[in-house]
Structure 1
Amino acid sequence: MATLSDVAIEAGVSPTAVSRYLNNRIALPQETRDRIDLAIAKLKYRPNLLAKRLSTGRTEAIGLVTPEIANPFFAELAAAVEADAQLHGYAVYMSSTQGDRLREIDAIQRLQDQHVDGLIMMTNEPDDGTLAELLSLQQNVVLLDEDIPGVSLPRIFVENEQGGYLATRHLIDAGHRDIAIVSGPQNLMSVRERMAGFERAMAESGLPVRPDWVLLGAYSRDHGRASATVLLGSDDRPTAVLACSDYIAVGILSMARQLGVQVPWDMSLVGFDDTPFAELVDPPLTTIRQPIAEMGRAAFGQLLALMNNTAVVPQTRLPVQLIIRQSVRNLGETSL
């Protein structure tokens, strides 16, 4: 296996010059750079990563903490982060926490123990102060998708309130007045903001928000199914539902079908995320599109800036978009 000294001899330079060139710590004439590159290719030299990490103090790896990788929303985010990280020479160590606070703590401690150079943090559970306390001691951390109050770190979010408003406005414009909302855990930032958008649209139209039609729980299919059982279990039921994630919407859709309720003719449904399966379900789901890949790229870009000690943006808000498909019925239409 070729060594750095072998490359230096082949290129006719000192081992120190090769080392500093590979670590971008020296400006060399083009002809010298070309000789080193040719020597590396000829000898099939691969840097000793352990030695490099000891000399630079960097692991050339980042951590990505995600609530679950099975959910297409988080999977797409992770893919975008990994693609950009690879372009900049970083490996990505992923932790799927399943909402387990101890797993989240463990991931943060890996950064503290210098197993990674930085961390992109996603959570789907409200913080009880534990995460904020740990993260307040860290620098190279970016919060993605959900907030963790009490820490001063770069944040990447979408316009959640506007998404809730657009979805509800679409239902109202289609003639719906009896509208329920099914969302994630109470006290999560995204839940509060999407609820605020829902309430704004309802208030503009002079429509009441019924407390028994506000169902909060997990961002999961199981919560969607349980909520549909409650909402559709009586004659007094909504004509439309805003599901604040596509996963919730799929749960509602499956339970509605089981109960003999046809979407959209008996009940209209709007989701939130526009994950890949949203257009594949029956009927294709009208939903709020989050720019998922762009969120991942923005998060890595901010983390890279932190790791390179360059300026970062304290908070980034990315726009959302209403995607109209076939899960909303205009009440002026007649059934086939």
Structure 2
Amino acid sequence: MDVATSKDIARIAGVSQATVSRVLQNMDNVDESTRQRVLDALRETGYVPNLQARAMRMRRSGLIGVVTGRLTNPFYPELLDALAEEITSAGLRMALWTTDEPASSTVAVQAIQGSAIDGLIFTTATSKDPALRQAVAQQLPIVLVNRSIARLQCDQVTSDNVAGGRLVAEYFLAHGRTSVAVVGGDDIISTSRERRRGFTKAFAQQGIEIPAHRQRKCDFTHDAARKVGLELLGSDDRPAAVFCVNDLVAFGVQDAAHQLGIAVPDTLWIAGYDDIPMAAWDRIDMTSVRQPIDELAKLAVDTLVRRIKKHDMPFSHRRFSAELMVRGSTGWAPAHD
């Protein structure tokens, strides 16, 4: 069977080759019914675009770079899967850099500067990353997703982490859990800083100040959280409920409670953040705040594609609402609207 060409697609769909090209580039100036006819023709013929030829014509690589941190946190593979799906749907390919070291960001930014990739998505950005700041200063096409940096002149897509932390606080307060602690993260990381701020502020507004010794920072790992959990829960002044700024931290605190013989949820409530799939496992059963990962990924990719085409459009920071998923670690106590 002959390989289908864009000319064949145009003939089958009853459109011009220019229209086929616009659909393949995911451009906006195509009527939806026309776009659907082209997409149907693409599926019918199994058409595979010549990405190398297209890149040469458009002076673009057709590659989107993604910089992420450690993949030991299951949240990031889930986010990467969603980003990869959206990048593929846009007719592009993904190049991935995975590390917590600034050197990886430097290599990724150099890839844009050398036209090896067309734009970059950062999932674990921090304000101390010099390569990121250099890229922004040079007005390279950059989108931050998941983590944000205040006042940085680039597009950013996050969930509303302050509101998410407040959701947990209001839930604890509604059920009389006023002796609380918050565990995890570092102030340089926007997600942990904002989630902690939303949580502590909601309690402060009710006249309840969470003491410093109950606001514990630690790395985003199970082992670090378990160590902090043993210290926090092993004291005579242990809390009745603990909010952890991500699910891995919550799992570590949960294991610490188990080791100390503290019954969850009868004696201690625990809630996490991200709602990774493991949180719903029967043996874990963790109440958690869910982020809309698919929506975050779609908007991040769509925004970057637009930024690549139009460098001078206004920057945006879109925050998505989060949702509290109640499970056994808080006794399935209902959340109030």
TM over 0.5: yes
- Is the 2:102–2:129 Cα contact (8 Å) retained in structure 1? no
User: What is residue 164 of structure 2 aligned with on the other side?
Assistant: 163
User: What is residue 87 of structure 2 aligned with on the other side?
Assistant: 85
What percent identity do the matched residue pairs reach? Answer: 28
**Larger Rg belongs to:** 1
- Is the 2:62–2:92 Cα contact (8 Å) retained in structure 1? yes
Measured at CA, do residues 312 and 247 of structure 1 come closer, stay the same or move farther in structure 2, by a change above 3 Å? farther
Please, what TM-score do these two structures have when normalized by structure 1? 0.82
Give 1:285 deviation, angstroms. 1.0
Give 1:243 deviation, angstroms. 0.3
Cα deviation 1:221-241 (Å, max 9, x = unaligned): 122112101101222211110
- Is the 1:157–1:317 Cα contact (8 Å) retained in structure 2? yes
Please, what TM-score do these two structures have when normalized by structure 2? 0.81
Cα deviation 1:309-333 (Å, max 9, x = unaligned): 28565110100111111112599xx
Amino acid in the other structure paired with 1:280: W
Structure 1 runs not aligned, ≥5 long: 12-17, 332-336
Measured at CA, do residues 45 and 320 of structure 1 come closer, stay the same or move farther in structure 2, by a change above 3 Å? closer
Give 1:214 deviation, angstroms. 0.7
- Is the 1:228–1:256 Cα contact (8 Å) retained in structure 2? yes
User: What is residue 252 of structure 1 aligned with on the other side?
Assistant: 253
Choose which of 67, 73, 82 in structure 2 pairs with 1:65: 67
Cα deviation 1:116-156 (Å, max 9, x = unaligned): 11111121655254531333214311111112355311100
Amino acid in the other structure paired with 1:77: L
- Is the 2:51–2:62 Cα contact (8 Å) retained in structure 1? no
Measured at CA, do residues 76 and 203 of structure 1 come closer, stay the same or move farther in structure 2, by a change above 3 Å? same
Q: In the aligned structure 2, how far is the partner of 1:318 from the partner of 1:7?
A: 38
User: What is residue 319 of structure 1 aligned with on the other side?
Assistant: 321
Amino acid in the other structure paired with 1:287: S
Q: In the aligned structure 2, how far is the partner of 1:226 from the partner of 1:275?
A: 22
Give 1:21 deviation, angstroms. 7.6
Measured at CA, do residues 165 and 149 of structure 1 come closer, stay the same or move farther in structure 2, by a change above 3 Å? closer
Measured at CA, do residues 172 and 20 of structure 1 come closer, stay the same or move farther in structure 2, by a change above 3 Å? closer
Give 1:82 deviation, angstroms. 1.2
User: What is residue 206 of structure 2 aligned with on the other side?
Assistant: 205
- Is the 1:136–1:151 Cα contact (8 Å) retained in structure 2? no
Q: In the aligned structure 2, how far is the partner of 1:309 from the partner of 1:7?
A: 26
Q: In the aligned structure 2, how far is the partner of 1:318 from the partner of 1:93?
A: 26
Structure 2 runs not aligned, ≥5 long: 10-15
User: What is residue 113 of structure 2 aligned with on the other side?
Assistant: 112
Cα deviation 1:237-266 (Å, max 9, x = unaligned): 111100010111011112221222221122
Give 1:45 deviation, angstroms. 8.8
User: What is residue 56 of structure 2 aligned with on the other side?
Assistant: 54
Measured at CA, do residues 308 and 234 of structure 1 come closer, stay the same or move farther in structure 2, by a change above 3 Å? same
Alpha-carbon RMSD: 3.4
Q: In the aligned structure 2, how far is the partner of 1:56 from the partner of 1:282?
A: 52
Give 1:113 deviation, angstroms. 1.4
